[in-house]
Amino acid sequence: MPPTKKADPFAQQQRLDSYEHPAAADAGLRRFLGYRLKRAYNTLRSGMLVRLEPLGLRITTFSALLLIVHNPGLRQSALASALDIKTSNMVAIVDDLEAKGWIKRKPEPTDRRALALIATTAGKSTCKKAEALAFENEETLLNNLSDAELNTLSALLEKIESSAEISHG
């Protein structure tokens, strides 16, 4: 559901020409792509935090909920692996989603150690809203990039990840 272009309720009225660059003292760091990646991510992250907060979601809980909705029966350990989160840290995230009534832990009959994660109707509904907000966030904050640029960017980021997979599995 790609959102249509519309006014950003979170954007503040500030013109480009009134913006004062903070001395650009970070020029020495801008040579590093890691620094640029972090800053670019932080702009999208900030927007997400503001938008998800009214739903009672954080970025990590949103990510987990979305994967559970899209992969019914996903095991807790598989979810942790997919998100690169330690299983010990996943417990609190799944606890939170379960406490809010958005998912259920269902014991696996075939392996009584494992838990299959299932989204409830309320969880699916919340996830749908959160996804719309996430699309809106990117639509807003990436509005000066063309579709071609976005595709290029996605592909290059994927390339970085796949390079790392080779280096350290």
Q: What is the Cα–Cα distance from 153 to 145, expressed in whole angstroms? A: 10
What are 38-46's contacts with CB under 8 Å, separation 24+?
Answer: 43/141, 44/137, 44/138, 44/141, 44/142
Q: In the set 30, 36, 70, 86, which binds DNA (CB under 7 A)?
A: 86
Q: Is 49 in the site for its own copies (CB under 8 A)?
A: no
Q: In the set 43, 77, 125, 152, which binds DNA (CB under 7 A)?
A: 77
Q: Is 116 in the site for its own copies (CB under 8 A)?
A: no
Q: In the set 4, 7, 12, 90, which binds its own copies (CB under 8 A)?
A: 12
Q: Which two tokens stand for residue 83?
A: 């998100």
Give me the least distance between CB of 44 and DNA, in Å please: 13
Residue type at 136 in one-letter notation = E
157 binds, among its own copies, DNA, none (CB under 5 to 8 A by kind): its own copies
Closest by CA to 119, choosing from 103, 132, 142, is: 103
Q: What is the Cα–Cα distance from 114 to 117, expressed in whole angstroms? A: 10
Q: Is 4 in the site for its own copies (CB under 8 A)?
A: no
Q: In the set 91, 92, 122, 145, which binds its own copies (CB under 8 A)?
A: 145
Q: Which is nearer to its own copies, 28 or 54 (CB)?
A: 28
Helices 87-99 and 59-70 cross at an angle (nearest 10°) of 80
| Residues within the interface to DNA (CB under 7 A) | 42, 46, 58-61, 75-78, 80, 85-91, 93-95, 105, 110-115
